[in-house]
Amino acid sequence: MNEAAWLTIAFVLMLLAMSWFALSLKSHWKQVTDGKPASRILRSLGWFCVMLSGLACLQADHASMAVLVWAMLSATAAFIVGQVLSYRPTLLRPLALFRA
C-alpha cells in the first residue's frame, strides 16, 4: 500500500477512537442515544484504535515523522468529534453499539 492509503486508514481509526472515547462519557452518550454507556468497552475500543492508528502511521513514514503525524491526527480527530457533538450528535449513533 502507498503512504496515502496508510494515512487514510490511520485517520479513520483515530476518528473512531475519539468517537468511542467521547461516547464513553455519560454526557456525550445522552446527546447521542438513551440508556447508559458501557464505558469500559468503549474506552478499550478507543485505545485499540489509537494503537492501530499509530501502527498505520509507522507504515506510512519513518518513526520521527510518524509520531508527529499521529499527534496531529489525534488533535484533528478530537476537534472533528467535538464539532460533531456540538452540531449533529446523532451522526455518532451508529458507533453507540455497547450499552451497560
Q: Is residue 54 part of a domain?
A: yes
Q: Is residue 79 part of a domain?
A: yes
pLDDT band of 14, cuts 50, 70, 90: very high
Q: Is residue 100 part of a domain?
A: no
pLDDT band of 34, cuts 50, 70, 90: confident
pLDDT (0 to 100) of residue 100: 55
Question: What domain range includes position 7?
Answer: 3-95
DSSP 10-68: HHHHHHHHHHHHHHTSHHHHHHH-SS-B-HHHHHHHHHHHHHHHHHHHHHHS-HHHHHH
Q: Is residue 44 part of a domain?
A: yes
How many structural domains is the chain composed of?
Answer: 1
pLDDT tens-digit series, residues 37-72 = 888 999 999 999 999 999 999 999 899 999 999 999
